Each structure stands twice: as structure tokens, then as C-alpha cells.
Structure 1
Amino acid sequence: MVDALIAPEGSLEVLSQHEVVRLRDTSLGGLHELLRRCALAVLNSGSVEDDSRQVMERYRNFDIQVVQQERGIKLELRNAPAAAFVDGQMIRGIREHLFAVLRDLVYVHNEIRLHPRFDLMAPGGITDAVFHTLRNARALFPGQPPNLVVCWGGHSISRLEYEYAKRVGYELGLRGMDICTGCGPGAMKGPMKGAAVGHAKQHRSSGRYVGISEPGIIAAEPPNPIVNHLVIMPDMEKRLEAFVRIGHGFVVFPGGVGTMEELLYLFAILLHEENAEIPFPLILTGPVESADYFRRLEDFLTNTLGSAVSRRYQVILDDPVAVARAMRRGMEEVRRFRIARSDAFYFNWVLRIAPTLQTPFVPTHANMAGLSLHRDQPLHDLAANLRAAFSGIVSGNVKESGIQAIEAHGPFQMRGAADVMRSLDNLLDSFVREQRMRLPGRSYTPCYEIVV
């Protein structure tokens, strides 16, 4: 472990004395423990551990303090992971991510939560908060045509699936497209790594590799080293809204419950009648060895949400070139639509997101048991409730609060219509068999029970 005093990199280099005082006072107050946890996740980049509580326990003596100086701030680290340093100097990318964490946590606390202009109980106010957080993080790029591809997929995937994700990223990069992911390992790292090579071959030095995380998940999925724009949103719902507001097209690789949460969030939006005419390129893809995975995924989607859901995506197996070409065509549709509607290229204001998708879902045992998992409701509402179910399982698998809740009260119980619950149970069983719940080699005990 290492002690160090770190100067800003990438964010917060130029501050007034008033801003320095606010940063120091905020970090010493109620945000200190949150800053400590998120900073440790960044410093632990490259770890093969996806249990956030074990990470915190291993480095329980780690601490971080904001040090005030006349010319700005520095971060004082105690007992930091040695892997974040080379010959006594912190790796530059990790230093940038560390100050991005401080920037976003303090901005959300001081300028969003404590500012009366943001009504976080109203849909418009929440979207406005998402916009301002992204803008403050310099993750919005006006003046560029649609070219940002959001890539979703699991952190626990096979080597074949990871290499395939790199190949898709490479083909996207060759065609001038940038990548946005959840910033972690596996299917989040692969497309970025491939795109970086594609950009290099095209001598494109301005490639964007945007990683969007949130405090509850970042310890289990620390930022990978390719990310050059890290954004920490305050909760999962604002993180998901950030993806759909800045992304122009979506590619989904094989994954587990986290990937299903993201995909169902998308369908809860796309199946709403107010979004029916909005072009939204969505491709599900993987190597030919993952064909059974996508077959089971499609069976689940059609069994729960009906055949209409299949019109909102396409499946392309084992063909990275076809994926990139289809996405390029989709980008052109998005460009024409945004021009016709006078919508911004850098932020999708037109998209309608229901309040239930913006309000943080707290996965308590009562809330999980009370989810409405039946077909006697609009399909977009069922998709939203299924998304919440997967969100709770993610929490029980890797988030400290969820793990503690399971230890205290036993597995989450979920109830619903028999056919919906059977489809859910079958999909979850396949994730367990294929080791998509935890990193390979980690034992897994389900944090949920299906009650029919």
C-alpha cells in the first residue's frame, strides 16, 4: 500500500479559493465515505474481484482527504493500492479518473441536490439534472454528427465473447464511431479496446471512450484503463437515463442480470407509444458460440413482452462487419430524424422516459416482493417492473447494501403470473449455469427466490 499527495489531472485544475473551500468542506462532511469508496474503486482498477464489500474490507485502512492550497487542491491518500502507481507515480489515467470522481460527487451534492432549481421529484427536473451532470463532466460534444455507440454486456463473459466484443469495437472504430459503456471490464472494456485500434489505424486521435458508472456499482466494476471520459451519476436510474440521452445507437453483447436490467430499461422506453417513431438502432450480437444465449434471451422477451418487442431490435451473430455497417446506417437515420425534429445531436431531448424509470428503485425485500410481474398492464410498464426485478438481483449479487440485506433477511422473493415467473426463472437458471452471475471461479448462491 502507498501514501501519496496527488495533484489534479483532467478535472479541477483551475479553481477559485471559494471553490477550493467548498470542495474541502463538502468532502469532509457527509460525502467523505462516499468519496472514499468511489476513489478506492478507481484505484483498484484491474481487480478481478466483483464483490464490493470484499474490496472495501481488503483496503479498510484506505483514506482520502482533500488538501487545501492557495493554488488549488491536492488529494492526500493513505494506504492506497500499490497497483495504481508506477515507480512511485500514480498512473495518469487513474489520476484523471480519481479527480473525475471528486468532480462529479461534489457537483451533484452542491449544485444538483442542494440547488432549488432542480426538482428531483419531477421528470423534467430529473432530465435537467442528468444533462447538467453530463455537461459539467464534459461528456457532451456539440458540433459532431451522431456517432456514439453505447455497448452493454456482462463483466463475467467468456474469452471468446470478450474477443468478439473487441472485434466489433474495432469495426466501429474503423468507421469513425466512438464508444460509451458502463466503464468496467469484460464486454465494457472489449469494444473500447477494439475501437482504440480502429481509431489508431485511421489516425483518429480524438476518439471518445465514455464510461458511465454510479456509486453503488463502481466497486464491483471499476473503470477500465481505456476510458477517457469518466462520469459518475448519482444513482442507477440517472446512469441509465444518461446512456439513452447521449447514445445514438446501442450494441448489446452477452451478459447477466445487469445487462438484462439495462436492456429492459430500454424496452420500457421503446415500447411506449410516444417513442414509437423515434429511430433507435439496437443490435444484439455475439460470437456463434453464444447463439443459445440469444435464443434464450429472445424466448424470455417474447414470452413476457410479446412479439412486438422483436421489432425494436435485430440480432446479428458472428459478424462484426455487419454489426458496424448496420450501426452506421442507423446513425444516418438518427441524424435525419434529429434534424427534422430540431433535436440536439449530443442529447436526446425528444425521448419520453416515464417517471417510474427515473425514480430510484430501492431493492428492499418488501419492494421486490411487491413488484407487479404480470401481463395485465401495458407492456412498457411490465418491462419497467422486470427491469426493477433484475436491478434488485444485481444489488443482491454485488452491491454492499444488497449483500447485507440478503444476509440479514434471506433471499429476495418475487411473485407474479405463473408464465412470466417461469420465463424469468428459466433465464436466471441459465445465467447461473453459464457463470454469468459472478466472475468465473466464484461460487454463487442465488440471492432470490421465484414464487409462483
Structure 2
Amino acid sequence: MTARNTVSTIVNPVGSMRVLSNREVSRLQDTSQKGLHRLFRQCALAILNCEQEGDDTEEIMEQFQDFDIRIVQEHRGLKLELINAPADAFVAGKLIRGVRENLFSVLRDILYVSSHITEDPRFTVESSTDITHLVFQILRHADAFITKQVPSIVVCWGGHSIARHEYEYTKKVGYQLGLRGMNICTGCGPGAMKGPMKGAYIGHAKQRISRGRFIGLTEPGIIAAESPNPIVNELVILPDIEKRLEAFVRLGHGITVFPGGPGTCEEILYILGILLNPANKDIPFPLVFTGPEAAKAYFEKIDEFIGNTLGEEAQSRYQIIIDDPLEVSRAMRSGLEQVTRFRRKHGDAYYFNWLLQIEQEFQAPFDPTHENMANLELNTQLPAHILAANLRRAMSGIVAGNIKEEGVTQIRAKGPYQLTGEPELMKQVDSLLQSFVEQHRMKLPGSHYEPCYEIKN
């Protein structure tokens, strides 16, 4: 394995996280199973390793086995001691400013989530209201809300494993969105998460927008595989994929979807499942699928899958725009104007979508064990939004088996996940997943892919 250059140093705080209690320090330094040190170390390494693009969490951890991070507690505040950190995160011996900001964002969110989930007896994952309240609190604690700003946040979803021409297209779309004053929110990683931010950054520069927002929402289980890209200037770490997805649709005002793999499919199923809920029928939420001409077949396959599984009503909730960044920006601008009028009329906040109803099926954390994956109810007799929830869980499990440390470990020990269900539906699922494999959307280009799943009728 190639040796990596490392740096050991002391880092001063930046942002709001400047002091810690003795109890918080103890939890962050606790290396036991209940302690936070392992999680803190893994997320910190992902931040510091952001110059390298990869999707293998174990490989990253293996390359920097001797990396460690410690709290230096002083009466005047705190500092972080970095031991054998990736040298690419430093310039002239100093930690890059954006990396330093993200590092302390990790510290802020890990501690806050720990105190509000692990230690707060008032919180219960069985309560839909409690979960939404927690998402709200995490975002508020991260200063993600600008209360009087009209809707302008466009969530961009898409794969980290995309072809170069698809990446260039995401930049063109981001540029058109940025020219029209829209801010970008993504999963913060490479590929279709980086491209729109990069394009919008140039668009903002041309319009002399100096405080453009480039929001990255991630989770501990995936951050090492999708380290924050350099454009992110607001990083928030949610405790799991379900709360991360809810944060996207509560904070964002519209969604643009680029080509991707099972993770992108999971996101599509999530938002469609929510929009198919009868309670959300009249709530405007612009949703655009887009890509270059070469991605036309990809979206035709996605559209076919949605039509055959969730029906025409689901297809009516989005529009597909191929190879036209300008039209995407116009459609999103028009959609955001509808959102603004609706929220003004109904007294809903601009900064958090309170009126959107999200059921427990979309909020409860799904643990992708072999047993849970095999027991998923997959048949078209279910209400469309419930079927979408279960299909979303199936895709979430495949993402875990592909790149999340715990999921990869389970697959290695027990073999592929077994997915069963209604025969015709399972044929649709198998066909879609096979198309992802053939288009190299399961792993980064050049990586050999061993399926972490098997489809059983």
C-alpha cells in the first residue's frame, strides 16, 4: 500500500464550537463501544481526507491507521490535536480554512446529536413529531436557517460515481441556477454533489453574490465514502440516512436529480413516497430529473420503473428535462415562485417545510441486516407511498452493502442480501439494479463491483 504523507499539529477552533464541558470531552475521548471517539475519529478523517476521492471506507481507515484526534482542554477554550493527519489538508503547514470549519462542524453535530438522542429521555424514535423536531433542532443548532430569505435552496441529488460528461453537465445546471440567485444543497460528496456547487459558485461570482450558500448534509455512516467537497461552506451531519433525507426536504425548496445509482434511486423513492401521501397532494414541491443527452436512456429506465411500480400519479409529480440546463433553471425558478406564494398564503415558514407530512415509514431508522432486508414487504397491493417506503429501504440496504463500513462487514460475513417479493415487481427491481451495474453506477469508475444483493422471486 502506498505510504501517505501526514502532519501532526494543534488546531484552534473556528465557528461557534469553542468550549466543551469536562463531560463532553470524556465522551469524545471514550474509546469504549458507548463512547464517541471512534465515530469522531472516522468523521474527522473523512473531512481531512477530502482531497482524495474514493468510496471505500475501510480502505481510507486502513491507509491512515495511525491517525488520531484528541481534545486539548484549556481554561480559555478547546483545541484539537491532530496526529498523523493527511498532509493534503494543509497548506504551508496550516490547515485549510474550509477544512478547519468542517472539522469543528463535525464536533458540533456529533456532540449535539449524542446529547439529544442518547441522553435525553424525552426523545423517542417512535414519535414522528419528535423526529421532525430533532431534525429541526440539529439544523437550527448548525445555524442553517435564514428566517426572512424567500425560498431559494435547490437540493441536488445524484451519484458520486458518474461519467465525466455527466459531471460537466451538473456544473452547467449549477451555473444557470447560480446566475438566478439560487443556493445549492447536496449530499456534499464528489460527482453530482460537487458539480452543481462548482457551477453555481461561478454563477454567484458573476452576479457578485458574496454570501452564496453551499450546504452539505451527510451522515456518519457515509461521510468517509463521500467526503465533503471543497465548495461546501455549511456542513451538517445528521445521525442517519432517514433524518438526512428529511433534512433535505424540510430545508430545501425544490429538488433537481442527476444520474446516479441506488443511493439516488433511494432519494427519488423517498421524495415520491412523501409527495404521494394524500396529505401532501396540494403542496408545491418542484422536482426535476435532468442529465445530458447520453443520460436519456437512464432516465427513461427510471421513469419506466416508477410507472410500473408506483403508477402514473407518481410520474406526474416530476418532469424530465434532457440536455437543457437553461430550461432546468427556468423550471426550478418557476417552481420556487409557487412555493413562495403557497407558504406566504398558508403562513408556513420559508426556512423549514412544516406543512409537509412525513409518515413514520419514512422516518424510522432502517437497519439493513440480512433478516430485515429479506423481510421487506415488496408487492404492488400496498398503497403507492408505502411501497415507495419499502423500495427505499431496499435501496438503502444496497447502499450500505456497497460502501458503509457496517454493511460491507455484514456482506463479507454472511454473503449477499436476499430480496424477495411479488415476482413481476422483483423483475422490475432486478432490471433497474442490473442497469446500474452495467452503467458502472455502483462503484467509482474502474472499481470492480461484486453485487451485495440477490433478487429472489
Name the TM tier (shorter chain).
Answer: over 0.9
CA displacement, residues 11-55 of structure 1 (integer Å, 9 cap, x when unaligned): 313x3xxx3424312211210110000001111102222011111
Distance 2:120 2:147 in 1: 26
Q: Match of 2:353, SS?
A: coil
The answer as to whether partners of 2:53 and 2:190 remain within 8 angstroms in 1 is: no
Aligned to 2:273: 268
Q: Matches of 1:199 and 1:96 in 2, distance apart?
A: 21
Match of 2:371 among 366, 369, 377: 366
Q: State the shift of 1:112 in Å.
A: 4.1
| Residues 116-156 of structure 1: per-residue CA shift (max 9 Å, x gap) | 34333200001000000000011111110000000000000
The runs of 5 or more residues in structure 2 that have no matched partner are 1-5
Q: Equivalences for 1:267-416 in 2 at 5 Å? A: 267-416=272-421
Check whether the contact 1:20–1:73 (CA below 8 A) recurs between aligned residues.
no
Q: Determine whether 1:74 maps to 2:73.
A: no
Rounded to whole Å, the distance in 2 between the matches of 1:77 and 1:273 is: 51
Q: Does 1:419 align with 2:427?
A: no
CA contact (8 A) 2:58 2:405 kept: yes
The CA distance in 1 between the partners of 2:218 and 2:234, in whole Å, is 11
- The reply to whether residue 25 of structure 1 matches residue 31 of structure 2 is no
- Kindly provide the amino acid, as one letter, of the partner of residue 7 in structure 1: N
**Identity among equivalent pairs (%):** 57
Q: Distance in 2 between matches of 1:424 and 1:315?
A: 21
Q: How many residues align?
A: 448
Looking at structure 2, the residues matched to 357 and 95 of structure 1 have their Cα atoms a distance apart, in angstroms, of 33
Deviation at 1:94, TM superposition (A): 0.6
Cα distance in 2 for residues equivalent to 1:438 and 1:310: 28
**Residues 1:200 and 2:205 aligned together:** yes
Partner of 1:187: 192
In the alignment, does 2:227 pair up with 1:226?
A: no
Q: Which of 107, 131, 135 in structure 2 is aligned with 1:130?
A: 135
Structure 1: gaps of 5 or more residues: none
What is the CA–CA distance in structure 2 between the aligned matches of 1:240 and 1:263, rounded to whole Å?
10
Instruction: Using the TM superposition, name which of 211-220 and 335-344 deviates more.
Output: 335-344
Q: Give the match for residue 456 of structure 2.
A: 451
Structure 2 residue 164 is the aligned partner of structure 1 residue 159: yes
TM-score under structure 1 length normalisation: 0.98
1:333 Cα offset (Å): 0.5
1:306 deviates by 1.1
Query: 1:307 and 1:202 mapped to 2: Cα distance?
Result: 40
- Whole-angstrom CA distance in 2 between matches of 1:236 and 1:214: 7
1:45 to 47, 50, 55: 50
1:7-26 equivalences in 2 (<5 Å): 7-13=12-18, 15=19, 19-26=20-27
Q: Is the 8 A contact 1:11 1:96 kept in 2?
A: no
Q: Deviations along 1:87-136, whole A, 9 cap, x unmatched?
A: 11111111111000000000111244322343332000010000000000
- Residue 133 of structure 2 aligns with an amino acid whose one-letter code is D
Amino acid at match of 2:300: R
CA distance in 2, matches of 1:192, 1:392: 28
Map Cα deviations across residues 317-352 of structure 1 (whole Å, 9 max, x no partner): 111110001101100110111111111000001111
**Residue 260 of structure 1: SS of its match in structure 2?**
helix
Which amino acid in 2 is paired with 1:255? G
CA deviations on 1:208-239 (whole Å, 9 max, x unpaired) are 00000000000000000000000000111100
Quick check: 1:209 aligned with 2:214? yes
Question: Match of 2:316, SS?
Answer: helix
TM-superposition CA deviations, 1:224-275 (whole Å, max 9, x none)? 0000000000111100000010000000000001001111011110111011
Deviating above 2 A after TM superposition, structure 1's stretches of 4 or more consecutive aligned residues are: 19-23, 115-121
Note the 1:80-91 alignment, pairs <5 A. Answer: 80-91=85-96
Amino acid at match of 1:163: E
**C-alpha distance in structure 1 between counterparts of 2:219 and 2:337, whole Å:** 31
Q: Distance in 1 between matches of 2:68 and 2:455?
A: 41
TM-score by length of 2: 0.97
Amino acid at match of 1:281: P
Task: Pick which of 147-156 and 118-127 moved more.
Answer: 118-127
- How many angstroms apart in 1 are the aligned matches of 2:99 and 2:178? 24
**Is contact 2:53-2:227 (8 Å) kept?**
no
Distance 1:62 1:450 in 2: 40
